[in-house]
Each structure stands twice: as structure tokens, then as C-alpha cells.
Amino acid sequence: MKRSTFLFLLIATFLGVATYLVKQNVISIEQDLLIAQKEIFQLEESIHILKAEWSHLNEPNRLQKLVENHLSYSPMEGNQLVSMDKVPSKESDKDYQGRLVTLASAKLP
């Protein structure tokens, strides 16, 4: 057998093995891609279901019924707003916390 024939046979064998390994690698990657696409589809479906549930849970009529059934909410009496000149300053008032408590508990006209 000539030396060049042997060399070409060796190169052909090497290229055949390399082609086979690349093909197997591509098949493995395609399978991983299909698995990832399936997971993405399932996650998108789950997100769609969760959005539907969230919009149902946040319906104003439903929330109003829950508030009426479970909370004994009533508006506070009086006005909770005060002007800035009635709020004590930390620097100028030694009994700062005491005045804040008094101011918070006082009923305004």
C-alpha cells in the first residue's frame, strides 16, 4: 500500500469519527433544547393561570365583600391632619416624644 493511500485512509477515518461525535453532540443539544422549550411552555402556562387567579382575587367587588365580612373598619373621628407649626421640633423641645404622643392622641375640632 502506498504511503499516500494510507495517509488518506487515516484522514478519512479521523474525519468520520469527528463527524460522528459532532452528530451525537448535536442530537444531545437538540434534546436539551426540546426539554427547555417544554419547560418554558409549562411555565408560561402556569404564569397565565396565576395571572387569571390574581385578577380574580383582586376584583373590587370581591375585596369589598371580604372587607365587610372580616374587618370591623370604621373611619376615625376627627381630622388627623395638623399644621407643621403644631409638630414639635427635636432641637427646640426637650419633651419631644411626650408632645408627639399628646398631639397624636388629642382630638382635633
CA atoms of 83 and 102, how far apart (whole Å): 15
What does each of the 109 residues of the chain score in pLDDT, given as a tens digit? 688 899 999 999 999 999 999 999 999 999 999 999 999 999 999 999 999 999 999 998 998 888 888 887 666 666 667 676 766 666 565 666 676 667 666 655 4
pLDDT at position 109 is 47
> pTM (2 decimals)?
0.49
pLDDT at position 103 is 66
CB atoms within 10 A of CB 96: 13
CA distances for 26 relative to 13, 14, 58, 92, 107, angstroms: 20, 18, 47, 77, 77
Residue where the block lists cell 469527528: 18
Q: Domain segments of the chain: what residues?
A: 1-74, 76-109
Query: Cell triple for residue 109?
Result: 375640632
> Residue-wise over 18-40: b if at least 16 C-beta within 10 A, else e?
eeeeeeeeeeeeeeeeeeeeeee
